[in-house]
Structures are given as C-alpha cells and as structure tokens.
Amino acid sequence: MGEDDKIKPVNDALKYSTEQFDKNILFIASGALGVSFAFIKDIVPDLGKAHCKNYLIISWVIFAGVIFVSLLTHFIAMLANRWAIKNNKLDDDIFNNKIENWNIPIRILNFLTIIAILVGAIYLIYFINHNITNYE
C-alpha cells in the first residue's frame, strides 16, 4: 500500500468532517435564532413584561454573529483555495508555510464560533429560565 493509498482516506475523512462542521455550526446557530424567534411568544406571551430582555437580545446578536463569522470563514477558505490553485507550482515547503497563513485565521474563527454558540446558548437558556420562573 503506497503513501497515497494511506493518505487518501484520511484526506477524505478530513474533507467530510470539515463540511459537517460548517453545516452543523450554521444549523445550530440559525436553528437557535429561528426557534427563539418563533417560540418566544410561548415562553413570554407579553415581551414587554419579560425579565432580562437584554440576555435574549445578546443571544440573538451572538447567533447572528456566528452565522456571519461562518460565512466569513467560507469566504477566506475560498480565497485560500484560489491562492493554492494559482501557486501550486511552489516548492512544497514554501507552499505549506504560505498556506498555513490562510489556515490560521480559519481555525481561530472556527474556534470562536464554537465558543460563541456556547455563550449564546447560555444567554438564551438564562433568559428562558428566568422568565419561566419569574413571569407574572
């Protein structure tokens, strides 16, 4: 079994997990945003009487921000792919060093989206919990 035969399944798995990560981030953020919009009236029938509305608004801003950052990472990845196609004749070491300059911001932004989804969910859960227990 040659080196290419060993690495191809690994590359395929990486590609698949990357696609799934992107889909899941968008699904979770947009789902949380959409569900909270749709069902807020069931949790707090009169939003004017809701407690801690700022937590709800902050969660919405965070989820919208996650969607935007996810689109931004897609855009950066697209630029990186164009760069890689244009510069594929570079020496492997130079190519790998330069492509890493594209990968670092994508990794950072992906990590931030994970943290942001957690924070947004905490804010939303706090708002829901506070209003379920304190709604008059």
Contact 63, 83 (CB under 8 A): no
Q: Is 135 left (phi over 0), alpha (psi -120 to 50) or beta?
A: beta
Q: Which residue has the higher pLDDT, 41 or 75?
A: 75
Q: What is the pLDDT of residues 17-49, one digit of tens each?
A: 888 888 889 889 999 998 888 878 787 878 888
Please count the CA atoms within 13 angstroms of the CA of 88 that sit on its side-chain side: 5
Identify the sign of the CA torsion 47, 49, 52, 53: positive
Best CA proximity match to 1, nearest among 16, 15, 11, 9: 9
Q: What is the pLDDT of residues 85-128, one digit of tens each?
A: 898 888 888 888 888 888 899 999 999 999 999 999 999 999 98
Identify the sign of the CA torsion 28, 29, 31, 32: positive
Domains of the chain, by residue range, sit at 3-134
